[in-house]
Structure 1
Amino acid sequence: MNLIDLATAAFAESSASADIDAAEQAAEAEARFLKYARGCVRKTLDEAAADLLDWQYIPADRLPDQIEEARALLTPGRLEYLRYRVNHSADAEYLDLVQPCRACDNDGISPVTSLVHLGQLLNEEDKPHDQDTDAQEPGPLDAVDAAERRAAVVAALALRLLAQHPDADLTVDTVAVFGHDDGDGSAQLRLKAADLNALRLVAAAMGRNVATKVSGTHPGMVFEHGDVIFTVDGTEVQLRAHTRLPDDEAAAWLAQQDQPEAAAGGDV
């Protein structure tokens, strides 16, 4: 064996050892994440529910950046599954029920807050898309039932947002729930954040950008307003906040607003 053979063999041995170490570390990380998933289910549902689920780790190349995920079928032979996700960029965890649609590519995704809530979601399973609902007369209370179901979803969503972003000091501003006699429902949820910095952190966790504008009439009363709108499981969510500009920034902004008028006056 010459020096080239010796060096090549040493490199191959080192590479094989590194691959083994990487595989062991990945397996340990996967096992640790599945342990977190089971712990989340024990905390959210109960011990018995956690023991009934077989979690599968989802490879990172199938997920967005900074997202880690595991899934567990509710029972063999059905499509519904629980999804445990962690957004590492926002240090937030999610437990959702995912209900794939047999007739289209859209999945119903609902946050799960308790074992009772999970049972409620499963009891609200959508009718097949190919069912002829136009031929059926709506019941006298179908709109009320739809509003009640949607209100429960909105309440769970609001609780989840507040729990996931405690530092944002979120408060619910308004809730509008609509029930329709076709059995469907919709809702609007408006929340306020402590300030624009808090709003931007929440929006970033949701993968959204904040739209801002400045308004005011004199120093001390100039504010930057921001809002972001997105939809979660049929609920339109609007997050908003405002921050008062420092006096120097407010004065500069007010001066800029006066420039067109000043220029117009100089031309006369």
Structure 2
Amino acid sequence: MIICKKPLMISRRLSGARCCVLFTTRNCPEKYLKTQTGQTMSEIIIALDFDSREKTLNFVRKISARNIWVKVGLELFIRCGPGIVEELKDMGLKVFLDLKLMDIPNTVYGAVSSSLSCGADMITLHALGGEKMIDQARNARARFGNSKNKAILLGVTLLTSLDRHDLPWPDTRTTNAITLDLAKKVYSWGLDGCVCSGLEAQDVRNSTSPDFCLVTPGIRLQPLGDDQKRVVTPESAQKSGSDFLIIGRPVTQSPDPVHTLRDIRKRLN
């Protein structure tokens, strides 16, 4: 059973004021779902990794849910364009637009403003894009965001399909150390959170703050021989401090996705 309480913003304090005021410091999400033990409960983001608009909308209608998070990734966005984000928003869903933006600062400024105009609630940017690129992303939100769209800006650290041996440059650091260094960078640059594996979430949390939003992909209900290397279960990701869990194939390929979602929530509680 999920215990719903009044939304409580978990945040640091600077000079006695909350540090998560939109456009001035960090825009952190509301954390108000609690497990029976009082732990903050991770929210689920369903990855809509379909290859057509029709399959996407049919799935969303099948789960018959409103006010839940869904992820629109690169493939779906290129096939359907910004209109798919607008349609999902019209259906009452919260949209995580996962395009992993990385370009020159001016181009990213325009891309973030366009993402806001179609209603994205969460936007990803590659940490390797650097501080100037991140600054322009934040500037775009400050100018084009509004009280109805407090989009969360996230830095992408190291993809969960990679480990240090896959990097195109020699690096003697561990995968955990690489992720942690990138997470600390985007934290210092003022992003709202980062995308990181559940294997590194606890270290990232300890090195940042309670209001730094951690989004974890590579969630598997059981071990699978797919293209993800650094995977974790929903329970272990939540225990490590992840605020959002991105779950795709275990839900979208389930014969009964509604039952699967219900089962995952029970496991988290």
TM-score, structure 2 length as denominator? 0.22
Between structures 1 and 2, the one with greater helix share = 1
TM-score, structure 1 length as denominator? 0.22
Between structures 1 and 2, the one with greater strand share = 1
